[in-house]
Chain A
């Protein structure tokens, strides 16, 4: 067995152990902390699958931003979650549930082991058409060119999620500001970090977006890093969340999908059809769309974490 194989098996054991902890830990808070560690370990698995773009997204969004959201909720629900823990299902119910879950796992493992090798693939088509987009990163090409309609609709899902979260606000808070993800006691270490990190973080976020055309990275990963920078300054109370009635906030939220859709519609007149890019202009158009997508992601993620408005609107 080579060193790399031993490392793979160790990593697999570690991921499964942390996943078991996430499900069986007694305290919800401990489970959430386990989930954050799990997300980071999982991104190493993604690197081993030669999916560096996915690893970046998993680390930034799947582990990082989701972690902030879950830790905030676990802290607020600590007492109620304890009360709900009394409603455990009975012994036979748990037995049948584990039986079902083992069956599902075995069926999926059977599928994994019997996959044809080489599997059916779209890689040759992607490689063939990549030159036409002017990009070097095939994943960015799939996201913004080959399957652009999916990616545009996914931006719409993000906007709908924000609308859903905001609409949970009690009537009197409508138009006010969300409570913002904030520490109970802003400590000096946090404030120091929140002043030190953003200049570097903003630079790294924009860099990751920019190199995404040719190297691993892109609008999602870059936008998530920018979002993290805004969140950390809100947590340290260096800045306040904007009120949900703010026009610039709403424009920033919809800029990504709106520009994406407008470019897609323009394709009908300028190129061969809906979401087609004119030959020779594909790369500048893709980067143009990605600028607005990065902005929308950087604004949407903190707004989803901040939750519904919790303060009275200023009149």
Chain B
């Protein structure tokens, strides 16, 4: 099996693993981590398609590779926004999950943290 196919299979496993984490982990920070695992799995699938598209003297097709670079940066900015939202929720309510039965108000120091 070539290195590219192996990387593609890792990508497939990472997507499944990340999806499981996204569904079952109740903590939002863990969900963000899991979502990033899915993302990097999809990027690896782009990687194998790029590698198999080697032609015209290039070791890989540069177009999918360039798209992955763009994707990594966009994934980072989405994660940063998601984390800022979680931190703000924690500041306002003292908890990190929007539980519907939560009746507790903000913690005593919540407004100023």
Contact = CB atoms under 8 A, between A and B. Distances in A.
Interface of A: 4-5, 8-9, 12, 15-16, 19-20, 22-23, 28, 31-32, 35, 38-39, 42, 45-46, 48-51, 53-54, 57-58, 61-62, 65-66, 69-70, 73-74, 76-77, 80-81, 83-89, 93-94, 97-98, 100-102, 104-106, 108-109, 111-113, 115-124, 126-128, 138-139, 141-143, 146-147, 150-151, 154, 157-158, 160-161, 164-165, 168, 170, 218, 220, 297, 300-301, 304-305, 307-308
A150 B71 CA distance: 11
A50 B53 contact: no
Contacts of A66: 36, 76, 79
Contacts of A115: 8, 48-49, 52
A49 B96 contact: no
* A-B pairs with lowest CB-CB distance, top 5: A121-B53, A105-B16, A112-B8, A108-B12, A161-B77
Contact of B18 (A12, A23, A85, A89): A23
A39 B37 CA distance: 10
Contacts of B65: 51, 53-54, 139, 142
A255 B19 CA distance: 37
Nearest to B19: A101
A105 B11 CA distance: 9
Contacts of A123: 53-56, 58, 60-63
A189 B38 CA distance: 36
A49 B7 contact: yes
Interface in B23-77: 23-30, 32-34, 36-37, 40-41, 43-45, 47-63, 65-70, 72-77
Interface residues of B, number: 84
A101 B76 contact: no
Contacts of B8: 109, 112, 115
B17 A101 contact: yes
B27 A101 contact: no
17 contacts: A15-B14, A23-B37, A35-B33, A51-B60, A54-B43, A57-B69, A62-B76, A69-B80, A69-B83, A84-B95, A118-B53, A122-B53, A123-B60, A123-B62, A138-B62, A161-B78, A220-B73
Contacts of A81: 27, 29-30, 96
A155 to B, nearest CB: 9
Contact of A108 (B6, B11, B96): B11
Given A93-B24, A97-B19, A97-B20, 13 more contacts: A22-B34, A66-B79, A76-B87, A81-B27, A84-B27, A97-B24, A108-B12, A109-B12, A112-B12, A122-B61, A124-B55, A146-B63, A157-B74
Given A49-B60, A104-B19, A89 B53 contact: no
Contacts of B108: none
A40 B52 CA distance: 24
A101 B88 CA distance: 31
